[in-house]
């Protein structure tokens, strides 16, 4: 069946028209056997993003391809027709797998490069030359590439339907991973910088995975929380969500209260789309419906069941609306299934549902009522609660609904715990909380950290000395100082500047140039010349200074990318080591994540500090290496040094401290 | 901290103190020294209770005279909190080395709240619990049960108490209600009777107003309290209504039917006893001749049989002859009930004075005033003689008897109103016979007469002069404290119109107008969007809330709210509402946020705090006026006008504003707390309304914020929330927070001030003043703008001289 060269052909039907499916390195195309019977289909390989296969034992052997941006809409569905149709499909799938996984992972159009090695000639699973290295994500660990090659994973996932055995190695490697492996992966994928650091340090085997994550627990926790957060149930009342006008544009956006279901009868049959979620919610909200469903549905069709429900009086009762038109009551037909569930609306002052007596005393309104005894007087009409009978069931449903929404979040167990018998408070309950005025408490004693100051005496004494010799001119009395100031003021006031004193007149300006200069004139001229030269020299110097300062402010040529990259990596590594070092040296904060665990014990920390110090010592060499590279590349090494100076400074501070620490520890 | 006020060392259980608290305590001490009454208004949430308790306990423990503190609060949650406050105070005092080992403090509440009996405590109704408890614990039951065990069921918790020494049923110390209950469970004793029997030995008693004001209860519970006791009414802004309620009785037709049945039953019982045990009735007869006092001994356990207060001399009197015999009394009651039934058949409204009622009664039935006065007492005696059980069955009869006694006792300050229809539009008669008290001073008068110092205090009792007027007493001190703040922690604003500029109001004519309803709704939606955590909204009445909630739902407004917050609504059932509240608080705590809809004057507005995240905004939809069509209210207004010269409109506004203030005040506790207060009604913009708000709220409403549309208000609210959420150093002291040094500095200043005042006075008049009068010109920083505001506004109101409705009618064209 296979075609010659790099093109393979398979007999396949498309939209029930027989034809030939051809797969090349770059395209997948289908041509009808009878020309003109159907449009020719051709798509670039780079656009295939998914494929679906029919079940292995299905009547037809089908393969559906989905393309990027959903063009052509709904994808293309081919039915293989030859005798070896199953093998054909498998072959096509194998050919497509690398592309599909690359296109899925890569996302952008640049992923169309896989053509390089992955060709029909090597169609089997796990092609190392497959698209994985070319995929957009440079990180060594991405979902698609863990363990076995991306193609393998893709094949496994997609081919499950065919019943092909899954590779055992995948499961094994999965089991070996740390618990929060996925979590870490997600965090890394979210922060490209962190990912880079991770690649350099962990995959570069400089520090271990665990060390890297130490101190970053908060990130993981936040990610875990964000990930485990699921959208809850819609908070609108159930019947309020039957928004029948949804299809119509421009209808009132407020939705309805289910009233619409009735009014629609004028304009024609109502179509309700009941999703599985919706029916489940109806069951949850109204258990009687579930009961009815369980009893009757095998008997009657599901559609009939629902349509009867929505036209029944029961539904009318379930709807949380007091708006009830008289017409409805009249036209309502009897329904033998649902009418037996009808009951009186819950509109008496006392609720039908039994209330548990488990309210804290300070919320217990019933206690007050009992305490005051039955009043002998009747409150006036407006203040009698529950007079508006029709709205009571509504109000009860609101409370009930809110309660259900509240309980959605789980915590059922917590609820159970607080229900102690008959309004006696649980032991751990603190009623003082309810009455405390927190701002009246004095400020809590500040948590001070004792400073490890060397030479305490020196500091104290030195302080004393400096205080004794304070002032601009130490050792002078106030009168002296005043006198000096006064003199200075007088001097400045009397200052007269006579420029003729400093600047000589040009002796030749007087016009008697022709005359033979007298020796005195010559002397004058010489002095003048000397002054002029000096002026010029001064001018030059000033000019140079100006130029120099301009040059200083000028924008430097940017660092070449390669060097910048090196510098950044060097800096990042140093920073990470510093972070690890200091976190190992400083005491763990009380409330910090992971406090009190084995990882924060003193011995572990000391070992870690030593290790980190070791890494830090090599920083200088690394910097020198970078400088060296810069020199070779012809870039100003001084600038590289200047840029990395703060890093080196920080490292030196840490090393200095480490040296002292070791010295102290030795003693 | 420990500081001195005059010669009194005060232990205050915090390191810092608000200036308000210090002034409050100083004034309180002066009142106690002078032995007079006082009215003090202190901003909500500035630690009123703790100041009060710490000063009074210090006072009681420092001076040698043994005085007792009777602390009354409104609701059980508040009682429980006050007890917790006291307990913590005592713990602090012990830490500081104060010697109050024998100090005892307990709270009292109903049997229903305290009962531990496995079956009785399951009963839902308090009345039934009371009655069943009585069956198990009454004197005759105990006697029988102890004589031959097993013949009568007894309560083991009650019996167990006999094993304890009188006056030491529970170790000394302070116990909250729950503590006592726990103690009861542990030891197997009855918490209710433990507290009841410990009453005479307590230093501090905390219970609700009713135990002191309601004559039916007060006589039993509070009779032994010494005259030296210090009485505190906390949260007293509603005290006049409690007074009035405690002396009013309403009768309905079903109640009369039930009473008639009871009479027949008791009649049968009498016949039976006559045959079996005629001696008993004879004995009773003899006792009754001797006088009521004797007949009613040993009644400790029977407060559910309590009767309206009778004066001392009446108790010594003999029961009138014509009702001494049991069968005569039964016939007497029958006649009285029949008479009332006939009256109920009238289908038009009748209002008459007690005198006219009695005259008519006598004319028709020959029932005289004197025997009627003894009706309730006589019934009590009879019930006891017959050893009736399940007396809750006879509740209606008791009420009828009390009704008779009250009608025959009081001549002034009461009115009888018969309303045949519940509402104006009703067509089926459902008659109610109101015996209504118009004068709140009647119920509280015995308290003022009996006790030397009565403190009336609340966060919202402006205008202060109203209370002495309507309760008829002379305070030695009335004071309202401003709120000192280093930053504006709460933001009151008045929204008068929606974003569409349609004015909003809960005025009856427009409240159901769709535009108004929608505008109210959009305020709620916008607030739910803007404000974090909890939002509380109050409506003027249940009727309005219930109708507006369904209207909002149909308008899709509530669905909008649900997008941002959960929604809880107050319901008629107390337990149901409590659970809604609990869920509300949970939603506020877990960050989901919630909205609570409830009613001013309703269950939630009294006694539930919405501090911190439980209430970042409170919205008052409309002005919570009383139902002005109520005939009772009209009668009361008339009474106030005729007797105390309080104009109707002034009283109505005062009443509405104190409840509005009460609602919005619930959002604050402490000065680090913050919240928005939204008054949504165009009438709040008017000065005569706002001037009746407490000064501490009014001082922060600036003119620019007193007439806003919804959109303006929301943008300001956003700004406020952003500002207030900035980090702020709450520890700075000196202005709104004082340390011990600040107190001493202040005292120093005051001393100098008063010395100077005396000196000046001396120079001017050549006389000297006693020093304390000098110090009365206190608090220069108060600004002096407060006190007279109210007076000025009353005058302004006089100028206009027209009522609310008339004014509202005038504004009608502008609204359209």
Q: Where are the beta strands (DSSP E) in A391-497?
A: none
Phi/psi-derived region of residue B390, left when phi > 0, alpha when psi is between -120 and 50, beta in every other case: left
What's the rounded Cα separation, in Å, for the pair A246 and A72?
Answer: 28
What's the rounded Cα separation, in Å, for the pair B649 and B805?
Answer: 10
**Closest residue to A382, CB basis, from B181, B542, B586:** B542
Partners of B596 in the beta sheet? B536, B568
Residues of B in contact with A259 (CB under 8 A): 554
Domain membership flag for residue A82: yes
Three-class secondary structure of residue B72 per DSSP: strand
Beta strand A76-80 with A8-14 is antiparallel
- Assess whether A69 and A114 both reside in one domain: yes
Say if the Cβ atoms of A380 and B15 lie within 8 Å: no
Residue B710 burial (CB count, 10 A): 24
What's the rounded Cα separation, in Å, for the pair B564 and B552?
Answer: 16
Closest A-chain CA to B539: A383
Residues of B in contact with A391 (CB under 8 A): 546-547, 549-550
Strand order in the sheet with A8-14: A41-44, A27-32, A17-23, A8-14, A76-80, A61-67, A48-53
* Residues in CB range of A365: below 8 A, 6 or more apart: B75, B77, B574, B575, B577, B578, B581, B603, B604, B607, B608
Among residues B238, B650, B655, B633, which one has the least CA distance to residue B415? Answer: B633
Domain membership flag for residue A434: no
Among residues B247, B184, B195, which one has the least CA distance to residue B221? Answer: B195
pLDDT attached to residue A161: 37
Is residue B617 predicted with pLDDT exceeding 90? yes
First to last CA, chain B: 61
Full residue range of the structural domain in which residue A616 is found: 561-666
B690 token code pair = 């706002």
Residue B315 burial (CB count, 10 A): 15
Say if the Cβ atoms of A390 and B556 lie within 8 Å: no
B106 token code pair = 């307990």
Q: What is the DSSP letter of A79?
A: E
- Assess whether A528 and A594 both reside in one domain: no
Instruction: Determine the distance in angstroms separating the CA of A257 from the nearest CA of chain B, rounded to an integer.
Output: 6
Three-class secondary structure of residue B475 per DSSP: strand
Domain membership flag for residue A528: yes
C-alpha dist (Å) from residue B692 to A537, B624, B625: 88, 13, 13
- Assess whether A517 and A627 both reside in one domain: no
- Assess whether A242 and A112 both reside in one domain: no
Domain membership flag for residue A214: no
More confident residue, A232 or B430: B430
Among residues B741, B78, B65, which one has the least CA distance to residue B458? Answer: B78
Mean pLDDT across the stretch B559-564? 89
- Assess whether A580 and A492 both reside in one domain: no
Beta strand A27-32 with A17-23 is antiparallel
pLDDT attached to residue B711: 94
Residues of B in contact with A368 (CB under 8 A): 74-77, 208, 574, 603, 606-607
Boundary-marking domain end, from A146, A177, A208 = A177
Residue A352 burial (CB count, 10 A): 12
* Residues in CB range of A435: below 8 A, 6 or more apart: B49, B50, B81, B84, B85, B88
Say if the Cβ atoms of A367 and B583 lie within 8 Å: no
Is residue B754 predicted with pLDDT exceeding 50? yes
Beta strand B566-569 with B594-599 is parallel
pLDDT attached to residue A244: 45
* Residues in CB range of B649: below 8 A, 6 or more apart: B797, B803, B804
Percent helix, strand and coil across chain B, each rounded to 5? 55, 15, 35
B743 token code pair = 């107190």
Which A residues in the span 433-492 are in contact with B, Cβ-Cβ below 8 Å? 434-435, 437-443
- Assess whether A110 and A248 both reside in one domain: no
Three-class secondary structure of residue A224 per DSSP: helix
pLDDT attached to residue B642: 92
C-alpha dist (Å) from residue A502 to A492, A493, A498, B650: 19, 20, 8, 95
What's the rounded Cα separation, in Å, for the pair B279 and B295?
Answer: 15
| Segment holding A418, helix H or strand E | helix A412-418
Three-class secondary structure of residue B418 per DSSP: strand
Spacing of C-alpha A135 from chain mean position: 22
Instruction: Give the side-chain half-sphere CA count within 13 A for B680.
Output: 34
CATH code: domain of residue A132? 2.30.29.30
Residues of A in contact with B109 (CB under 8 A): 367, 370-371
Angle between helices A150-159 and A85-106 (to 10 degrees): 130
- Write out the DSSP string of A511-541: S--SSPPPHHHHHHHHHHHHHHHHHHHHHHH
SS (H, E, C) A317-347: HHCCCCCCCHHHHHHCCCCCCCHHHCCCCCC
Say if the Cβ atoms of A365 and B574 lie within 8 Å: yes
**Closest residue to B210, CB basis, from A323, A372, A438:** A372
- Assess whether A601 and A571 both reside in one domain: yes
Strand order in the sheet with B475-480: B173-174, B104-107, B204-208, B69-73, B230-233, B453-458, B37-41, B475-480
Instruction: Determine the distance in angstroms separating the CA of A327 from the nearest CA of chain B, rounded to an integer.
Output: 18
Say if the Cβ atoms of B581 and A363 lie within 8 Å: yes
Residues of B in contact with A374 (CB under 8 A): 126-127
- Assess whether A640 and A543 both reside in one domain: no
**Closest residue to B423, CB basis, from A381, A390, A425:** A381
- Assess whether A590 and A500 both reside in one domain: no
Low-confidence ranges of chain A (pLDDT < 50): 1-5, 107-173, 243-266, 325-327, 330, 411-428, 463-469, 666-667
Strand order in the sheet with B675-680: B566-569, B594-599, B534-539, B617-621, B675-680, B490-497, B708-709
- Write out the DSSP string of A118-143: --TTS-STT-TTSSGGGSS---S--G
Among residues B86, B96, B22, which one has the least CA distance to residue B60? Answer: B86
pLDDT band at B40 (very low <50, low <70, confident <90, very high): very high
Say if the Cβ atoms of A406 and B542 lie within 8 Å: no
pLDDT attached to residue A26: 76
First to last CA, chain A: 84
Q: Which of B311-325, B476-490, B531-545 has the highest mean pLDDT?
A: B531-545
Mean pLDDT of all residues belonging to chain B = 85
Q: Is A231 on the interface with B (CB under 8 A)?
A: no
pLDDT attached to residue B779: 43
C-alpha dist (Å) from residue A452 to A445, A449, A654: 21, 9, 16
A314 token code pair = 């029961």
Residues of A in contact with B567 (CB under 8 A): 398, 401-402
Q: Is B178 on the interface with A (CB under 8 A)?
A: yes
Say if the Cβ atoms of B672 and A439 lie within 8 Å: yes
Say if the Cβ atoms of B110 and A371 lie within 8 Å: yes
pLDDT attached to residue A577: 87
Contact B192, B31 (CB under 8 A): no
Count of domains forming chain A: 4
Three-class secondary structure of residue B229 per DSSP: coil
- pLDDT digit string (tens) for B775-786? 444 444 444 443
Residues of A in contact with B425 (CB under 8 A): none
More confident residue, A331 or B410: B410
Is residue B313 predicted with pLDDT exceeding 60? no
Q: Could you give the percent of chain B with pLDDT greater than 90?
A: 45
pLDDT attached to residue B291: 62
pLDDT attached to residue A393: 85
Say if the Cβ atoms of A236 and B574 lie within 8 Å: no
What's the rounded Cα separation, in Å, for the pair B430 and B419?
Answer: 8
pLDDT attached to residue B175: 93
B624 token code pair = 């919570």
Say if the Cβ atoms of B559 and A440 lie within 8 Å: no
Domain membership flag for residue A274: yes
- Assess whether A510 and A572 both reside in one domain: no
Q: Is A390 on the interface with B (CB under 8 A)?
A: yes
Contact B491, B720 (CB under 8 A): yes
Say if the Cβ atoms of B399 and A376 lie within 8 Å: yes
Mean pLDDT across the stretch B233-252? 91
Say if the Cβ atoms of A387 and B556 lie within 8 Å: no
Number of A/B CB contacts below 8 angstroms equals 282
Say if the Cβ atoms of A383 and B556 lie within 8 Å: no
Boundary-marking domain end, from A515, A532, A554 = A554
Q: Is A420 on the interface with B (CB under 8 A)?
A: no
pLDDT attached to residue A261: 45
Q: Which of B49, B570, B573 to mutate to test the interface with A (most CBs of A within 10 A)?
A: B573
What's the rounded Cα separation, in Å, for the pair B689 and B699?
Answer: 14
Q: Which of A371, A396, A426 to mutate to test the interface with B (most CBs of B within 10 A)?
A: A371
- Assess whether A582 and A480 both reside in one domain: no
- Write out the DSSP string of B96-160: TT---TT-EEEE---HHHH---TTGGG-S-HHHHHHHHHHHHSHHHHHHHHHSTTSS---HHHHH
Contact B718, B529 (CB under 8 A): no
pLDDT attached to residue B185: 92
Say if the Cβ atoms of A349 and B17 lie within 8 Å: no
- Assess whether A305 and A251 both reside in one domain: yes
Residue A613 burial (CB count, 10 A): 21
* Residues in CB range of B491: below 8 A, 6 or more apart: B674, B675, B676, B677, B700, B705, B716, B717, B720
Domain membership flag for residue A68: yes
pLDDT attached to residue A455: 58
**Closest residue to B627, CB basis, from A256, A375, A381:** A381
Say if the Cβ atoms of A359 and B609 lie within 8 Å: no
**Closest residue to B568, CB basis, from A371, A392, A399:** A399
The pTM (predicted TM-score) of the whole model is: 0.72
Q: Which of B576, B602, B607 to mutate to test the interface with A (most CBs of A within 10 A)?
A: B576
Say if the Cβ atoms of B576 and A355 lie within 8 Å: yes
What's the rounded Cα separation, in Å, for the pair A374 and A620?
Answer: 87
Contact A240, A257 (CB under 8 A): yes
Domain membership flag for residue A43: yes
**Closest residue to B550, CB basis, from A351, A377, A394:** A394
Closest A-chain CA to B87: A432
What's the rounded Cα separation, in Å, for the pair B131 and B128?
Answer: 5
Whether the complex's predicted ipTM surpasses the cut of 0.90: no
Q: Is B84 on the interface with A (CB under 8 A)?
A: yes
Three-class secondary structure of residue A15 per DSSP: coil
Boundary-marking domain end, from A554, A582, A597 = A554
Domain membership flag for residue A393: no
Partners of A76 in the beta sheet? A65
Instruction: Determine the distance in angstroms separating the CA of B596 from the nearest CA of chain A, rounded to an integer.
Output: 10
- pLDDT digit string (tens) for B625-655? 999 888 999 999 999 999 988 999 999 999 9
Partners of B598 in the beta sheet? B538
Residues of B in contact with A390 (CB under 8 A): 550
- pLDDT digit string (tens) for B687-728? 889 888 998 998 899 999 999 999 999 999 999 999 998 888
Contact B412, B420 (CB under 8 A): no
| Burial degree of B573 (CB within 10 A; 0-12, 13-18, 19+) | buried
Which B residues in the span 369-408 are in contact with A, Cβ-Cβ below 8 Å? 399, 402
């Amino acid at each position: 069946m296979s075609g010659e060269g790099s093109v393979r052909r398979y007999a396949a039907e498309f939209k029930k028209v027989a034809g030939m499916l051809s797969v090349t390195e770059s395209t997948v195309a289908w041509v009808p056997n009878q020309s003109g019977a159907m449009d020719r289909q051709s798509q670039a390989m780079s656009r295939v993003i998914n494929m679906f296969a029919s079940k292995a034992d299905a009547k037809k052997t089908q393969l559906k391809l989905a393309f990027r941006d959903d063009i052509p809409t709904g994808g293309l569905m081919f039915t293989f027709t030859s005798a070896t149709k199953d093998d054909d499909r498998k072959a096509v799938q194998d050919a497509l797998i690398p592309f599909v996984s690359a296109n899925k992972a890569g996302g952008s159009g640049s992923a169309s490069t896989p053509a390089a090695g992955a060709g029909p000639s090597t169609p089997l699973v796990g092609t190392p030359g497959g698209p994985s290295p070319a995929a957009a994500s440079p990180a060594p660990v991405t979902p698609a590439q863990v363990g076995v090659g991306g193609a393998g994973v893709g094949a496994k996932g997609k081919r499950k339907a065919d019943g092909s055995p899954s590779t055992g190695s995948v499961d094994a490697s999965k089991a070996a991973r740390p618990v929060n492996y996925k979590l870490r992966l997600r965090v890394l994928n979210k922060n490209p910088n962190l990912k880079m650091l991770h690649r350099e340090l962990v995959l570069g085997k400089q520090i271990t995975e665990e060390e890297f994550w130490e101190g970053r627990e908060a990130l993981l926790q936040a990610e875990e929380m964000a990930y485990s957060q699921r959208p809850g149930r819609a908070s609108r009342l159930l019947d309020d969500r039957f928004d029948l006008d949804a299809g119509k544009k421009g209808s009132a956006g407020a939705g309805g209260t289910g009233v619409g279901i009735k009014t629609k009868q004028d304009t024609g049959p109502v179509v309700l789309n009941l999703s599985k979620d919706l029916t489940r919610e109806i069951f949850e909200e109204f258990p009687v419906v579930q009961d009815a469903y369980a009893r009757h549905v095998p008997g009657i069709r599901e559609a009939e069941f629902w349509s009867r429900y929505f036209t029944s009086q029961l539904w009318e009762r379930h709807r949380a609306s007091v708006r009830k038109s008289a017409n409805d009551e009249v036209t309502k037909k009897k329904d033998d299934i649902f009418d037996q569930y009808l009951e009186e609306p819950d509109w008496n002052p006392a609720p039908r549902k039994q209330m548990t007596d488990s309210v804290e005393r300070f919320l217990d309104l019933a206690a007050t009522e009992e305490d005051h005894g039955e009043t002998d007087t009747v409150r006036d009409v407006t203040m009698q609660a529950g007079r508006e009978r029709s709205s009571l069931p509504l109000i009860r449903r609101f409370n009930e609904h809110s309660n259900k929404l509240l309980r959605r979040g789980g915590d059922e167990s917590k609820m159970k715990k607080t229900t102690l018998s008959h309004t006696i408070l649980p032991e751990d309950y603190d009623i003082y909380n309810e009455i405390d005025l927190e701002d009246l408490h004095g400020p809590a004693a500040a948590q001070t950290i004792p400073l490890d100051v060397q030479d305490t005496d020196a500091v104290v004494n030195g302080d004393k000395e400096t205080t004794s010799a304070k002032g601009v001119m130490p050792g002078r009395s106030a009168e002296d100082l005043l006198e000096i100031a006064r003199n200075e003021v007088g001097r400045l006031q009397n200052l007269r500047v006579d420029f003729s004193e400093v600047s000589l007149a040009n002796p030749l300006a007087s016009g008697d140039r022709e005359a033979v200069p007298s020796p005195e004139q010559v002397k004058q001229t010489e002095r003048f010349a000397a002054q002029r030269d000096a002026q010029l020299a001064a001018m030059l110097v000033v000019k140079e200074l100006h130029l120099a300062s301009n040059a200083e402010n000028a924008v430097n040529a940017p660092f070449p990318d390669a060097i910048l990259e090196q510098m950044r990596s060097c800096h990042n590594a140093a920073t990470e080591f510093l972070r690890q070092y200091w976190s190992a040296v400083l005491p763990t904060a009380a409330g910090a994540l992971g406090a009190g665990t084995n990882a924060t014990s003193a011995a572990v920390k000391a070992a870690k500090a030593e290790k980190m110090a070791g890494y830090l010592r090599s920083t200088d060499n690394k910097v020198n290496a970078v400088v060296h590279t810069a020199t070779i590349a012809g870039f100003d090494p001084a600038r590289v040094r200047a840029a990395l100076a703060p890093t080196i400074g920080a490292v030196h501070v840490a090393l200095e401290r480490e040296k002292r620490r070791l010295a102290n520890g030795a003693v | 901290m420990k500081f001195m006020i005059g010669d009194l060392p005060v232990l205050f259980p915090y390191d810092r103190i608000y200036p308000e608290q210090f002034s409050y305590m100083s004034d309180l001490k002066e009142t106690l020294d002078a032995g007079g009454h006082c009215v003090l208004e202190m901003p909500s949430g500035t630690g009123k209770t703790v100041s009060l308790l710490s000063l009074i306990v210090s006072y009681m423990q420092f001076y040698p005279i043994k005085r007792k503190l009777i602390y009354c609060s409104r609701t059980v949650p508040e009682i429980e909190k006050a007890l917790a406050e006291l307990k913590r105070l005592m713990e602090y005092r012990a830490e500081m080395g104060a010697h109050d080992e024998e100090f005892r403090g307990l709270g009292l509440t109903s049997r229903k709240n305290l009962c531990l009996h496995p079956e009785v405590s399951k009963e839902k109704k308090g009345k039934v619990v009371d009655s069943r408890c009585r069956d198990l614990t009454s004197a005759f039951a105990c006697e029988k049960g102890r004589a031959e065990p097993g013949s009568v069921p007894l309560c083991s918790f009650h019996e167990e108490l006999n094993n304890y020494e009188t006056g030491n049923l529970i170790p000394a110390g302070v116990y909250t209600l729950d503590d006592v209950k726990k103690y009861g469970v542990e030891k197997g004793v009855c918490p209710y009777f433990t507290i009841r029997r410990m009453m005479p030995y307590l230093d501090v008693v905390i219970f609700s107003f009713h135990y002191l004001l309601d004559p039916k209860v007060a006589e039993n519970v509070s009779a032994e309290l010494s005259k030296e006791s210090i009485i505190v009414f906390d949260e007293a802004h509603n005290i006049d209504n409690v007074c009035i309620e405690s002396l009013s009785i309403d009768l309905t037709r079903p109640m009369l039917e039930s009473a008639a049945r009871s009479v027949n039953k008791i009649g049968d019982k009498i016949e039976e006893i006559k045959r079996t045990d005629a001696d008993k009735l004879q004995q009773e007869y003899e006792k009754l001749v001797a006088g009521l006092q004797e007949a009613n001994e040993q009644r400790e356990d029977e407060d559910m049989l309590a009767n309206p207060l009778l004066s001392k001399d009446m108790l010594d009197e003999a029961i009138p002859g014509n009702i001494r015999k049991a069968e005569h009394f039964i016939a007497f009651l029958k006649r009285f009930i029949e008479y009332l039934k006939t009256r109920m058949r009238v289908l038009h409204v009748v209002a008459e004075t007690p005198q006219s009622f009695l005259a008519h009664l006598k004319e028709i039935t020959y029932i005289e005033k004197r025997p009627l006065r003894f009706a309730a007492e006589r019934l009590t005696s009879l019930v006891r003689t017959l050893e009736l059980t399940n007396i809750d069955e006879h509740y209606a009869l008791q009420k009828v008897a009390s009704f008779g006694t009250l009608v025959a006792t009081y001549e002034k300050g009461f009115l009888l109103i018969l309303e045949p229809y519940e509402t104006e539009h009703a067509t089926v008669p459902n008659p109610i016979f109101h015996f209504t008290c118009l004068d709140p001073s009647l119920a509280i008068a015995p308290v003022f007469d009996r006790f030397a110092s009565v403190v009336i205090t609340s966060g919202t009792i402006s205008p202060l002069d109203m209370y002495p007027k309507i309760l008829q007493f002379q305070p030695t001190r009335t004071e309202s404290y401003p709120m000192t703040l280093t930053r504006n922690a709460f933001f009151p604003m008045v929204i008068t119109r929606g974003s569409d500029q349609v004015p909003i109001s809960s005025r009856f004519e427009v409240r159901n107008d769709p535009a108004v309803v929608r505008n109210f709704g959009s305020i709620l939606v916008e607030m739910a969007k803007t404000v974090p955590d909890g939002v509380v909204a109050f409506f003027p009445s249940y009727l309005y809330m219930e109708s507006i909630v369904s209207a909002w739902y149909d308008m899709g407004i509530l669905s909008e709210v649900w997008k941002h917050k959960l929604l809880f609504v107050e319901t008629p059932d107390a337990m149901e509402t409590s659970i809604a509240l609990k869920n509300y608080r949970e939603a506020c705590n877990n960050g989901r946020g919630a909205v609570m809809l409830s009613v001013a004057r309703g269950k939630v507005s009294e006694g539930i705090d919405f501090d911190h995240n439980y209430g970042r905004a409170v919205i008052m939809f409309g002005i919570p006026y009383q139902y002005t069509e109520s005939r009772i209210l009209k009668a009361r207004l008339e009474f106030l006008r005729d007797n105390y010269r309080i104009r109707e409109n002034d009283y109505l506004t005062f009443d509405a504003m104190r409840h509005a203030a009460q609602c919005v005040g619930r959002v604050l506790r402490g000065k680090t707390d913050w919240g928005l207060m939204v008054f949504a009604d165009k009438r709040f913009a008017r000065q005569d309304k706002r001037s009746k708000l407490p000064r501490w709220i009014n001082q922060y409403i600036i003119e620019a914020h007193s007439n806003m549309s919804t959109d303006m208000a929301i943008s300001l609210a956003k700004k406020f929330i952003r500002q207030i959420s900035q980090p702020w150093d709450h520890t700075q002291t000196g202005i709104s927070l004082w340390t011990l040094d600040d107190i001493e500095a202040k005292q120093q200043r005051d001393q100098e001030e008063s010395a100077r005042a005396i000196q000046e006075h001396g120079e001017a008049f050549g006389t000297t003043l006693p020093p304390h009068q000098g110090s009365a010109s206190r608090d220069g920083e108060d600004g002096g703008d407060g006190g007279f505001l109210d007076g000025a506004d009353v005058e302004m109101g006089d100028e206009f001289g027209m009522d609310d409705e008339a004014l509202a009618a005038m504004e009608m064209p502008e609204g359209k």
